[in-house]
């Protein structure tokens, strides 16, 4: 797997320089975004905007925060040209309070695409990725616990997974855990079809609709709910997560689960061979990910103060 610095190579993690002058523009954004908040008492509660408000906000940002607009355009160009992830060591917000950083992240999402609601109740665009107490019987998602997060794509449990998402590190884990790594879906498929076992796996994973369970936090009701789709398709190229998939084994025994497990194991083995090096996102670091192309994973961590903020968006 290649890495680039500033330049571009497809299906890689692309590293671009930290932007200049963003922090100075954020104070203006705080006033600009105030009227778009779902709840002015809760600084983090931004809901998705309608098309009219989205156009209005973008026009304001172009005029009032040109450095932020320029940075967002640079990131978007890299992603649209095929980078599976764009990594920025420092966004430049480290000296700002959390509320102002949240405003900036919301605006970045609106410039890159159409931010979506993470949960169906409060419909938050900004989602806190941090370990938290969970009730008994809760079918947890990776953003709620400190255990390993094996290779997956985001919202594989929804019919239309968002094309992009980004993670901003408010506080990285100080224990040495919580490190991220990636693998290209295109390269996984390219390697998979070169062997007999891999070709058999590709045939299964691209032709059989499989049940992906919606985690409790994101489900509308109390009963388990599933989305049916193949792992490999035209759009998205890959949707993948083992625990949401294999939760359905007992509920849908009519499926050929041993064949499915063998195919998934072959797919995962190739992903692990193509994985990038593990890397912690530093404080104030941000990574933008092509969710239709890239699988991502996270090592376990013990530092309960680790805090990332995620935004998902259609584009």
Continuous segment of H or E residues that includes residue 269: helix 257-273
Mean pLDDT of 249-260: 97
**pLDDT at site 39:** 62
**pLDDT at site 230:** 98
**pLDDT at site 1:** 33
**pLDDT at site 10:** 60
**pLDDT at site 6:** 44
For the cut 60, the answer to whether the pLDDT of residue 283 exceeds it is yes
32 near 72, Cβ under 8 Å? no
> How far apart, in whole angstroms, are the C-alpha atoms of residue 271 and residue 250?
26
**pLDDT at site 30:** 81
**pLDDT at site 224:** 86
For the cut 90, the answer to whether the pLDDT of residue 281 exceeds it is yes
Query: Tens digit of pLDDT for each residue in 62-86?
Result: 999 999 999 999 999 999 999 999 9
Strand order in the sheet with 294-298: 149-152, 294-298, 180-184
DSSP string, 240-257: --HHHHHTTTTT-TTS-H
**pLDDT at site 245:** 98
Considering only residues 42 and 124, tell me which one the structure prediction assigns the higher pLDDT.
124
For the cut 50, the answer to whether the pLDDT of residue 7 exceeds it is no
18 near 28, Cβ under 8 Å? no
For the cut 60, the answer to whether the pLDDT of residue 267 exceeds it is yes
Query: Tens digit of pLDDT for each residue in 211-224?
Result: 999 998 888 777 78
Q: What is the CA radius of gyration of the chain?
A: 19
Give 284's Cβ-side CA count (13 Å radius). 14
* Residue 73: both structure tokens together: 């355009």
> How far apart, in whole angstroms, are the C-alpha atoms of residue 179 and residue 279?
5
pLDDT band, very low/low/confident/very high, at 2 (cuts 50, 70, 90):
very low
Burial of 46 (0-12, 13-18, 19+ CB in 10 A): buried
pLDDT band, very low/low/confident/very high, at 38 (cuts 50, 70, 90):
low
Q: What is the dihedral of CA 255, 256, 257, 262, to 10 degrees?
A: -150
For the cut 70, the answer to whether the pLDDT of residue 252 exceeds it is yes
**pLDDT at site 74:** 97
Q: Mapping DSSP to helix (H, G, I), strand (E, B) and coil, where does residue 4 land?
A: strand
Sign of CA dihedral 277, 280, 284, 289: positive
Compute the mean pLDDT over every residue in the chain, rounded to the nearest whole number.
92
* Residue 32: both structure tokens together: 């600009």
pLDDT band, very low/low/confident/very high, at 45 (cuts 50, 70, 90):
confident
Q: For residue 216, give the DSSP letter.
A: G
Query: Tens digit of pLDDT for each residue in 140-150?
Result: 889 999 999 99
For the cut 60, the answer to whether the pLDDT of residue 40 exceeds it is no
pLDDT band, very low/low/confident/very high, at 31 (cuts 50, 70, 90):
confident
pLDDT band, very low/low/confident/very high, at 228 (cuts 50, 70, 90):
very high
pTM (predicted TM-score): 0.93
> How far apart, in whole angstroms, are the C-alpha atoms of residue 215 and residue 225?
8
**pLDDT at site 9:** 55
Helix count (H) and strand count (E) of the chain? 8, 13
The 10 Å CB-count burial string (b at 16+, else e) for 218-242 is bbeeeeebbbebebbeeebbbbbbe
Mean pLDDT of 241-254: 97
């Amino acid at each position: 797997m290649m890495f680039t610095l500033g330049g571009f190579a497809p299906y890689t993690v692309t590293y671009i320089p930290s932007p200049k002058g963003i922090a100075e523009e954020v104070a203006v954004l705080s006033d600009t975004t105030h009227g778009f908040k779902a709840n002015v008492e809760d600084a983090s509660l931004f809901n998705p905007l309608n098309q009219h408000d989205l156009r209005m906000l973008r026009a304001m940002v172009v005029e009032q925060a040109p450095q932020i607009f320029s940075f967002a355009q640079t990131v978007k160009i890299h992603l649209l040209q095929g980078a599976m992830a764009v990594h920025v060591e420092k966004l430049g917000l480290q000296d700002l309070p959390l509320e102002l950083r949240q405003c900036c992240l919301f605006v970045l999402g609106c410039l890159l695409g159409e931010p979506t609601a993470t949960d169906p109740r409060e419909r938050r665009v900004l989602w806190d990725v941090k370990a938290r107490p969970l009730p008994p019987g809760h079918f947890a998602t990776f953003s709620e616990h400190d255990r390993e997060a094996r290779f997956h794509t985001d919202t594989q449990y929804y019919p239309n997974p968002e094309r992009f998402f980004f993670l901003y590190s408010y506080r990285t884990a100080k224990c040495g855990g919580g490190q991220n790594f990636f693998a290209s879906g295109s390269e996984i498929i390219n390697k998979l079809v070169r062997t007999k076992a891999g070709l058999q796996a590709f045939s299964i994973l691209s032709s059989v609709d499989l049940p992906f369970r919606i985690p409790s936090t994101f489900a509308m009701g109390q009963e388990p709910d599933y989305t049916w789709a193949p792992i490999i398709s035209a759009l998205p190229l890959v949707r993948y997560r083992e625990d949401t998939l294999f939760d359905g084994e007992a509920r849908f025994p009519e499926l050929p689960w041993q064949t499915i497990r063998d195919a998934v194991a072959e797919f995962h083995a190739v992903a692990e061979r193509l994985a990038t090096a593990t890397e912690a996102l530093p404080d104030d670091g941000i990574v933008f990910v092509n969710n239709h192309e890239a699988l991502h994973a996270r090592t376990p961590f013990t530092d309960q103060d680790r805090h990332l903020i995620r935004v998902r968006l259609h584009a």
